[in-house]
Amino acid sequence: MDTTIAICTWNRSDLLDKTLAHMRHLEIPVGTSWEIVVVNNRCTDNTDEIIAAHARSLPVRRVFEEKQGQSHARNAAAMAARGELIIWTDDDVLVDSKWLVEMLAAARARPEFSFFGGPIEPWFEHDPPQWLLDNWPAINGAFAFRDLGNDEFEFDLKRLPYGANYAMRTSVQRAFPYNPKLGRVATGEIRGEETDVLHKLLAAGHRGWWVPASKVKHFIPAERLTLDYIRRFFHGIGQTEFIRKRGESSQANIAMWERPRTLVNALQAEVRYRYYSTFRPKKTKRWVNSLVRSSRLWGHLAACNAAMKKAA
């Protein structure tokens, strides 16, 4: 089989329904064999019914993963995939009609490349507030936005695809499984499982390619257009960064001396955020940047505390 489209889901059957329905409009190259694998990661809603309903018109099959977490679900999808190329997307995405055509064309034209990625555009449920638009460059990562331009190029450490729209040769993916310590678990905010794998691929000599014509739209619900969401997201990024950048064996020792400095920096950033948001609300860049910094530092501190507690 040529390709497997992989989707991991947890209790978002309404969005999954829209995602799969939209895939009926995909253009499929003549002679291409393909499938959709949806990993049910211990869902308690009607996800299985949605998958079964779409199986009447799409080559979709269900895989169940008992262990909760995005990394476990991705690893299950990789092992179940029958295609030579896995194309990853999410359960809250609308793919462009030429999405599959363009990704497959890039993979076939460049057999020396191991992974590929394309743009992710926002699909807002409601118009975003002005403070969000004014600070979009600083916070768009919280909405999985990815636009690296209209020209193709080879990826490097500073320019990599995001999890809602990238592809990998299946043999390579299986050789580089996702770290269960990373990736969202239920409503948790630790992320970065795909970035971790892509960094390891580059370190091992694998190459990646940007495919600007392979586009998707990512759903942004109204509840994410809030400062509370920004705080939670970047708190999770702080935790993720600590886990990714600190070796497992030295985490506790590093945490012990990092904790006081991180606490002071977090408090300073938090004070700046609260001051500017209260007394200088029109200076949105100052208080949004302070909120992002404080949230990352609080997340870093939480991971420090967890490492020390684990070692105790």
* 8 A C-beta contact, residue 92 and residue 219: yes
Residues 53 and 167 in one domain: yes
Residue 249, pLDDT score: 44
Q: Which amino acid is at 32?
A: T
The enclosing domain of 145 has a CATH number of 3.90.550.10
Burial 22-53, CB ≥16 within 10 A → b, else e: bbeebeeeeeeebbbbbbbbbbeeebeebbee
112 and 49, same domain (yes or no): yes
Residue ending a domain, among 164, 197, 224, is 224
Full domain range(s) for residue 278: 227-311
What's the confidence (pLDDT) of residue 310?
76
Residue 303 has pLDDT above 80, yes or no: yes
Q: What is the mean pLDDT of residues 291-297?
A: 97
Q: For residues 173 and 80, is the Cβ–Cβ distance under 8 A?
A: no
3-class DSSP state of 143: helix
Nearest Cα to Cα of residue 206 among 109, 111, 119: 111
Q: What is the pLDDT of residues 133-156, one digit of tens each?
A: 999 999 999 999 999 999 999 999
- Please state, for a pLDDT cut of 90, what percent of the chain lies above it: 89
Asked if residue 243 has pLDDT above 80, the reply is: yes
What DSSP string describes 202-233?
HHTT--EEE-TTS-EEEEE-GGGSSHHHHHHH
User: What pLDDT score was predicted for residue 305?
Assistant: 83
Nearest in space to 113 (alpha carbons), one of 208, 214, 201, 3: 208
Do residues 204 and 239 share a domain? no
Same domain (yes/no): 48, 113: yes
In the predicted model, what is the mean pLDDT of residues 163-172? Answer: 98
pLDDT(251) > 70: no
Find the helix or strand (DSSP H, E) in which 159 lies: none
Last residue of a domain, one of 224, 251, 284: 224
Distance separating alpha carbons of residues 135 and 149, to the nearest angstrom: 20
- Is residue 181 domain-shared with residue 258, that is, in the same domain? no
170-184 pLDDT, tens digit each: 999 999 999 999 999
pTM of the entire predicted model: 0.93
Strand partners for 208: 115
Residue with tokens 């209790």: 11
Beta bridge partners, 171, equal none
Point out the least confidently predicted range of 37-46, 211-220, 302-311. Answer: 302-311
Question: Are both 99 and 67 inside the same structural domain?
Answer: yes
d(CA 183, CA 67): 13
275 & 178 share domain: no
Two structure tokens written together for 229 = 């969401």
Which H helix or E strand runs over 200? Answer: helix 193-203
Question: What per-residue confidence (pLDDT) applies to 260?
Answer: 85
Residues 207, 303, single domain; the answer is: no
Split at pLDDT 50, 70, 90, the class of 115 is very high
Instruction: Put residue 221 in one of left, alpha, beta given phi > 0 → left and psi -120 to 50 → alpha.
Output: beta
Residue 18 or 242, more confident: 18
User: Please, what is the average pLDDT of the chain?
Assistant: 94
Write down which residue in 208, 224, 240 finishes a domain: 224
Q: For residue 59, is pLDDT > 50?
A: yes
Say if residue 64 is in the same domain as residue 179: yes
Check: CB of residue 181 under 8 Å from CB of residue 246.
Answer: no
Question: Which of helix, strand or coil describes residue 259?
Answer: helix
Strand partners, 210: 117
The number of domains in the chain is 2
Pair (109, 10) in one structural domain: yes
Please tell me whether residues 104 and 184 are part of one structural domain.
yes
Phi, psi of 115 (to 5 degrees): -145, 160
Residue 253 scores a pLDDT above 70: no
Residues 219 and 105 in one domain: yes
**174-231 pLDDT per residue, tens:** 999 999 999 999 888 999 999 999 999 999 999 999 999 999 999 999 999 999 999 9
Quick one: which of 180, 163, 137 has its CA closest to 284? 137
- Tell me the percentage of the chain whose pLDDT exceeds 70: 96
